[in-house]
């Protein structure tokens, strides 16, 4: 009998399917701190998590029976993969399940930024009618620069091409796609793009990949979107770029600290901010949940 800990909320239908699998003892316990998880996890063989649970080195070392961690989602930055490897723990995720959810959210942030949706909403709720002051711009025929050409980056490219945008892509690897886009250097992307969208993991190489020097190369009035990982953009540098007008508006779903304890950037009038909900669409979460079940089922079947 394999003991399975589900430590973050899971799609209800997928959870019921997980409970129906033979040979598994399922425990649902969410909202644990690192200390609580360290004390609770030793008896479990499989851990099913999303973004809230942090599988740190301390947690993994305490998990003496742990064989498998399954992350319902794309990123693995909340799992210490080095510690997992050292302790013989297999790590899996569901990279394709929420691709559409995040890509759609990215387009939503993009539209909100260019059309002043946030300001317009607040203005209307204040019983104002600021029609002329809130005029925006179209996405049509604008140049979109996508940094990172994984599943989500290419899905954003596909959606953006349907809006009539011209798409540039920067990645450290060659882009493999039939889409009508152009792979360029990072400097070319920064200098040519009207809108820039990041789709990167947070690594040593991507930490503060966009900072003062990069903002200095961008067009005046550029739009910046980040629905990938907090920390890929230097938030202090972004705030200064917003203040100077170098960045006209920013749509941000991810932050260096989550939840934030400092709201200077979020409070900026030209920032559209959302609380890391890019993947939080019911359809995407259902796909992710059932993919988790499939991974667990295949693993326990040998």
Q: Which residue's structure tokens are 């909900």?
A: 277
- Give which of 27, 63, 67, 25 is closest to 46, Cα–Cα: 67
Catalytic residue (one of 71, 105, 229, 287): 229
Say what the pLDDT of residue 77 is.
Answer: 85
Catalytic residue (one of 43, 86, 138, 258): 258
Residues (pLDDT < 50) of the chain are none
Say what the pLDDT of residue 302 is.
Answer: 79
Say what the pLDDT of residue 16 is.
Answer: 97
104 is catalytic: no
Instruction: Give me the DSSP letters along 165-197.
Output: -EEEEE-SS----SSS-EE--HHHHHHH-SEEE
276 is catalytic: yes
Query: CB–CB of 72/214 below 8 Å?
Result: no
Q: Which residue's structure tokens are 């040998």?
A: 302
Say what the pLDDT of residue 74 is.
Answer: 85
- Give which of 233, 239, 234 is closest to 264, Cα–Cα: 239
- Give which of 227, 279, 233, 215 is closest to 251, Cα–Cα: 227
Say what the pLDDT of residue 75 is.
Answer: 80
Say what the pLDDT of residue 55 is.
Answer: 97
Structural domains of the chain ordered from first start: 2-95+282-300 (3.40.50.720), 99-273 (3.40.50.720)
229 is catalytic: yes
Say what the pLDDT of residue 87 is.
Answer: 97
Q: Edge-to-edge, what's the strand order for the sheet holding 2-6?
A: 24-28, 2-6, 46-49, 68-71, 90-93
């Amino acid at each position: 009998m394999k003991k399975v800990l589900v430590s973050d909320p899971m799609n209800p239908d997928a959870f019921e399917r997980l409970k129906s699998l033979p040979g598994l003892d399922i425990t649902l316990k969410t909202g644990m701190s690192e200390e609580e998880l360290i004390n609770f996890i030793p008896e479990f063989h499989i851990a099913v998590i999303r973004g809230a649970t942090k599988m740190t080195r301390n947690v993994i070392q305490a998990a003496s029976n742990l064989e498998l961690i399954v992350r319902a989602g794309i990123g693995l930055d909340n799992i210490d993969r080095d510690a997992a490897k050292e302790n013989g723990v297999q790590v899996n995720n569901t990279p394709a399940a929420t691709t559409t959810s995040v890509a759609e959210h990215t387009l939503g942030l993009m539209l909100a930024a260019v059309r002043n949706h946030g300001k317009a909403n607040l203005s209307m709720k204040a019983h104002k009618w600021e029609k002329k002051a809130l005029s925006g711009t179209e996405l049509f025929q604008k140049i979109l620069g996508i940094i990172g050409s994984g599943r989500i980056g290419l899905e954003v490219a596909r959606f953006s091409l349907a809006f009539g945008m011209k798409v540039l892509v920067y990645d450290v690897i060659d882009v493999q796609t039939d889409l009508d886009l152009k792979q360029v250097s990072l400097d070319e992307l920064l200098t040519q793009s009207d809108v820039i969208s990041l789709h990167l993991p947070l690594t040593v190489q991507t930490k503060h990949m966009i900072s003062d020097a990069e903002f200095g190369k961008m067009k005046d009035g550029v739009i910046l979107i980040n629905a990938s990982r907090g920390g890929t953009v230097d938030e202090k540098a972004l705030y200064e770029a917003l203040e100077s007008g170098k960045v006209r508006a920013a749509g941000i779903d991810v932050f260096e600290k989550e939840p934030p304890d400092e709201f200077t950037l979020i409070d900026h009038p030209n920032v559209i901010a959302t609380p890391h909900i890019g993947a939080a669409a019911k359809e995407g979460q259902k796909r992710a949940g059932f993919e988790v079940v499939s991974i667990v089922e295949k693993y326990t079947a040998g």
